[in-house]
């Protein structure tokens, strides 16, 4: 028997089955109008195609909770537009195409661990580690005497992604990056 969740208990990040689709709640708001019944206004993201829809529910309305599997897997390598991952416990490997991967791996080196999110065996998303350490492979030298605070310059990291770094960062430095924003955090 599937778990049911009532709209009154919706929280961001919960995944539900609704109208034969699987949605993740990305926003919700309990509305109590002066007259009439309370309702829950939601923004739902379709986890398969990424589309966002707005729906309103009665607080007592129930939806089936979708069971999402999140598994740690090691990113092995990519071969053209196919990316290979391995379960480090069972050594099972899976291959995902570029469409599924998108740009989630732009800060992820081979052999790093990522979370593979799937629903009933279908992978719908990858979650890179929140923070990664990468080496700078290309950037302009910092200019002596350039003390503009907060000034940044573009740099390329070893995965090929572009980031903006402070002027003192040089080629060969390892830096820490927030993978959600691509933001430079510190020298590693």
Q: Which pLDDT does position 28 carry in this prediction?
A: 95
**Are 59 and 72 members of one domain?**
no
**Are 54 and 88 members of one domain?**
no
Nearest to residue 101, comparing CAs of 72, 78, 119, 74? 78
Burial class of residue 135 in the structure, from the number of CB atoms within 10 Å of its CB (0-12 exposed, 13-18 middle, 19+ buried): middle
Q: Which pLDDT does position 8 carry in this prediction?
A: 92
- Report pTM: 0.73
Q: Which of 78, 100, 127 is the last residue of a domain?
A: 127
Q: Which pLDDT does position 2 carry in this prediction?
A: 65
Domain CATH number, residue 163: 2.40.50.140
**Are 183 and 159 members of one domain?**
yes
Structural domain tally of the chain? 3
Domain CATH number, residue 28: 2.30.30.30
Q: Which pLDDT does position 146 carry in this prediction?
A: 57
**Are 56 and 74 members of one domain?**
no
| Ranges of residues in the chain whose predicted pLDDT is under 50 | none
**Are 121 and 140 members of one domain?**
no
Q: Which pLDDT does position 125 carry in this prediction?
A: 84
Domain membership of residue 37 as a residue range: 4-65
**Are 73 and 121 members of one domain?**
yes
Instruction: With beta carbons less than 8 A apart as the criterion, state whether 37 and 50 touch.
Output: no
């Amino acid at each position: 028997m599937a778990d049911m969740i009532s709209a009154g208990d919706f929280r961001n990040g919960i995944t539900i089955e609704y109208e034969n689709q699987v949605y993740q709640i990305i926003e919700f708001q309990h509305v109590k109008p002066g007259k009439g019944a309370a309702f829950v206004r939601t923004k739902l993201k379709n986890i398969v195609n990424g589309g966002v829809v707005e729906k309103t529910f009665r607080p007592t309305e129930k939806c089936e909770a979708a069971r999402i599997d999140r598994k740690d897997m090691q990113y092995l390598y990519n071969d053209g537009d196919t990316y290979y991952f391995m379960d480090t416990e069972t050594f099972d490997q899976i291959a995902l195409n570029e469409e599924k991967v998108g740009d989630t791996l732009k800060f992820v080196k081979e052999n790093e661990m990522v979370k593979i999110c799937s629903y009933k065996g279908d992978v719908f998303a990858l979650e890179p580690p929140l923070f990664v350490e990468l080496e700078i492979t290309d950037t302009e030298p910092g200019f002596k005497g350039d003390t503009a605070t907060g000034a940044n310059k573009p740099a390329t990291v070893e995965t090929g992604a572009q980031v903006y770094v402070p002027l003192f960062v040089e080629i060969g430095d390892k830096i820490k990056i927030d993978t959600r924003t691509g933001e430079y955090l510190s020298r590693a």
